[in-house]
Structure 1
Amino acid sequence: MTGDVPLESALREALEREGASVFVHAGPARDPAIRYCLPAPELERESKRERRAVAFDGREWRVRSAADTGVDPASALADDLAADGLEGTVLTPARIPHDAALYLEGAGFSLASTDVVARSRATKTAAERERIADAQAAAGAGIRRGAALLASADVREGRLHLEGEPLTAERLRIAIDGGIVAAGGFPDGNTAVSIPGDGPVRPGVPIVLETAPREPSGYYGGLARTFVRDGDGGDERRAHVGVTHAFRSAASMLTADAQSVTAVEADLEAEVRAFGFEDEIRTRVVGVGLEPAERPNRGRQAVDAGAVVRLDVGVEIEDGRIRLTELLAVDGSVERLESIPRSLDPAALE
């Protein structure tokens, strides 16, 4: 299964602690929690629109789908559990569909909510980390392709041109998506190019390329780089140095000990402010997995060993915005996933 042994162990502990007989969830196969619970063979053949119901009784998984049963899978699963002699309390996520809850209650079960799946998803197995790394490699391939267009463009009348045509944000976005697909990933509509003003891309201003593709089994990456073609230093250089220092500081924090999301975000902001920036600093720290942003993603939630987190730092300057986004795998040490150069010069990625 996707979550593998750690999820099963956590579910057994929750069932024993709550005196429950079984864990149940239901919903479309595209629901990340459903995908996390599906055994590997089911995950490989699933249709994202197909409704599924899953159960774990501490020993084995049961999976029902409309294609298999001809009826609502939650109804079929509830009847199967009752027929197998299970009774009493069923643990479910708080957001289980209402009709699924009614089917379980109709079969004689009482329901109690648990966040055990969400908590388990915050720590990644080795297999999950490899899938995220694959998605991040595709993200890197896309950003490199966008940077290559910027580096090779000609400057004409204050605009960048490529093959005689003005270079636009849309053309850059298409190039990034093409690089992602060529690397085996799926852009998933998460690619964006931000340029100051309207019209073609201009030299001397920050151009932000960002993307969060997924790999074939559904795990996401997240990467953003800012480039300035033919820049002359100034505020963009100072802001870029501040942002890169912020990443190094946060990595040191996460290497030393588990930290809360709030603490890491505050450290990122403080590092940028140390370079003389006071306003319009934006930081975000979130987990990455079967969603582009998932737990840990708020307040006092801890970035524990085993987490893969996305660090996003941006600061507004007069000519635009400097922004960097990276993924860090935290496990005693901190590893950058797909560590492409952070340089403002797009030619540095060639």
Structure 2
Amino acid sequence: MTGDSPLEPAIADVLAREDATAFVAVGSARQPTLRYCRPELDDGRHAVAFDGREWRVRSATDPGAAPASELADVLATDGLSGTVLTPARIPHDAALYLEDAGFSLSSTDVVARGRATKTDAERARIEDAQAAAGAGLRRGAAALATAEVVDGRLGLEDEALTAERLRIAIDEAIVAAGGFPDGNTTVSTPGDGPVRPGEPVVLEAAPREPSGYHGVLARTFVRDGEGGSERRAHVGITRSFRSAAAMLTADAQSVTAVEADLEAEVRAFGFEDGIHTRVAGVGLEPVERPRHGSATVESDAVARLDVGVDLADGRIRLTELVAVGDDVDRLGSIPRSLDPEAAVAD
């Protein structure tokens, strides 16, 4: 066993339990399963196998090449036979190559289960991505804070400040901080035109760092806000984060239980409808295990907590990223204030 992948002991265990000969995965280097198993892979298409002791890898950049066919032949030539375990989704041609080489296929979720918790090295990569997300949202907040009010609209550098201009500014800051926006940056405003003072603007980014791990962060800013229901919703959401952190510190919790706790805290501030909550893991994808119902948020998980409240004239939404352990740590966050100047001054 090479010890390169945190997944290896888990794969060896499931191979023994299922009386299988190897685990096989096929796809591109950007595909999360491949990236998790063999993070050193370059661009291209790859087929990898682990037999409980060593990895076998076949790669190709030529569109006509078939690395899965080569891998199937290598496994058979090396004397392996019987059942190979694969993720639930495997390219159809790869399945045929393995079957033609005499193997039967059975699915396993060993990779998805392994990705539900994070090693120290993975957490460090997520924190790098989260730092880039924070840099992006600070840039967006700075644009909102410094914009001039002209005829009831915000303008910057003699041009109207729009959601698209904010998105571009956020992405530029993410890139400058060493991240990749990955098309995951969104700016939401109540209307379609230029941003107006007094209306909530939701900024969200989920960039990745160079090895593929994501961060995620969302904030709502209101330029020249007057409080009222916006302020009340915001306080309810921030209180919900504190409650969820205490809950996760006490014991492992299901996704459903944490989402219900987040919602209950917001309801305590007088909101009955339009409450949105989501709890999920973050890693090689912006949303990954644990992410459904009874799935458990365990110690060593990195989880996103999303809470939003729909109002008559917009939405208040915040997303935090937390590392779960003996304590619950916020990762790479920025101030939660509705005032964009608070994010700039931090």
Is residue 129 from structure 1 mapped to residue 102 from structure 2 by the alignment? Answer: no
Q: Alignment partner of 1:6: what SS?
A: coil
Q: Which residue of 2 aligns with 1:267?
A: 261
Q: Which residue of 1 aligns with 2:11?
A: 11
Q: Alignment partner of 2:117: what SS?
A: coil
Is residue 31 from structure 1 mapped to residue 25 from structure 2 by the alignment? Answer: no
Query: How many angstroms apart in 2 are the aligned matches of 1:9 and 1:77?
Result: 22
Letter in 1 for 2:214: Y
Letter in 2 for 1:319: D
Q: Which residue of 2 aligns with 1:107?
A: 101
Q: Which residue of 2 aligns with 1:145?
A: 139
- Structure 2 contact 23–50 (Cα < 8 Å) conserved: yes
Is residue 84 from structure 1 mapped to residue 85 from structure 2 by the alignment? Answer: no
Query: How many angstroms apart in 2 are the aligned matches of 1:231 and 1:89?
Result: 63
- Structure 2 contact 217–333 (Cα < 8 Å) conserved: no
Per-residue CA distance 1:149-184 (angstroms, 9 max, x = gap): 111111122111112222111111111001101100
Letter in 2 for 1:20: A
Q: List alignment gaps of at least 5 residues for structure 1.
A: none
Query: How many angstroms apart in 2 are the aligned matches of 1:70 and 1:271?
Result: 56
- Structure 1 contact 69–76 (Cα < 8 Å) conserved: no
**Residue among 63, 87, 93 paired with 1:93:** 87
**Residue among 243, 250, 254 paired with 2:237:** 243
Query: How many angstroms apart in 2 are the aligned matches of 1:311 and 1:220?
Result: 14
Per-residue CA distance 1:46-92 (angstroms, 9 max, x = gap): 11xx2110000111111101249973111100110111111111111
- Which deviates the most, 314-323 or 61-70? 61-70
Q: Which residue of 1 aligns with 2:315?
A: 321
Matched residue count: 343
Letter in 2 for 1:337: L
Query: How many angstroms apart in 2 are the aligned matches of 1:21 and 1:163?
Result: 64
Is residue 63 from structure 1 mapped to residue 53 from structure 2 by the alignment? Answer: no
Q: How big is the shift at 1:333?
A: 1.3
TM-score scaled by length of structure 2:
0.96
- Structure 2 contact 130–333 (Cα < 8 Å) conserved: no
- Structure 1 contact 159–166 (Cα < 8 Å) conserved: yes
- Structure 1 contact 187–211 (Cα < 8 Å) conserved: yes
Is residue 161 from structure 1 mapped to residue 149 from structure 2 by the alignment? Answer: no
Q: How big is the shift at 1:28?
A: 2.1
Letter in 2 for 1:137: A
Query: How many angstroms apart in 2 are the aligned matches of 1:148 and 1:13?
Result: 51
User: What is the root-mean-square deviation of aligned Cα atoms in Å?
Assistant: 1.6
Letter in 2 for 1:325: T
Correspondence 1:186-197 to 2 at 5 A: 186-197=180-191
- Structure 2 contact 11–23 (Cα < 8 Å) conserved: yes
Q: Which residue of 2 aligns with 1:220?
A: 214
- Structure 2 contact 99–105 (Cα < 8 Å) conserved: yes
Query: How many angstroms apart in 2 are the aligned matches of 1:149 and 1:68?
Result: 45
Q: Which residue of 1 aligns with 2:287?
A: 293
Per-residue CA distance 1:179-216 (angstroms, 9 max, x = gap): 10110001111111111112111111111111111111
Query: How many angstroms apart in 2 are the aligned matches of 1:5 and 1:100?
Result: 23
Correspondence 1:178-193 to 2 at 5 A: 178-193=172-187
**Residue among 298, 304, 307 paired with 1:310:** 304
Q: Which residue of 2 aligns with 1:177?
A: 171
Q: How big is the shift at 1:137?
A: 0.3
Letter in 1 for 2:66: D
Query: How many angstroms apart in 1 are the aligned matches of 2:143 and 2:92?
Result: 50
- Which deviates the most, 67-76 or 143-152? 67-76
**Residue among 171, 195, 198 paired with 1:201:** 195
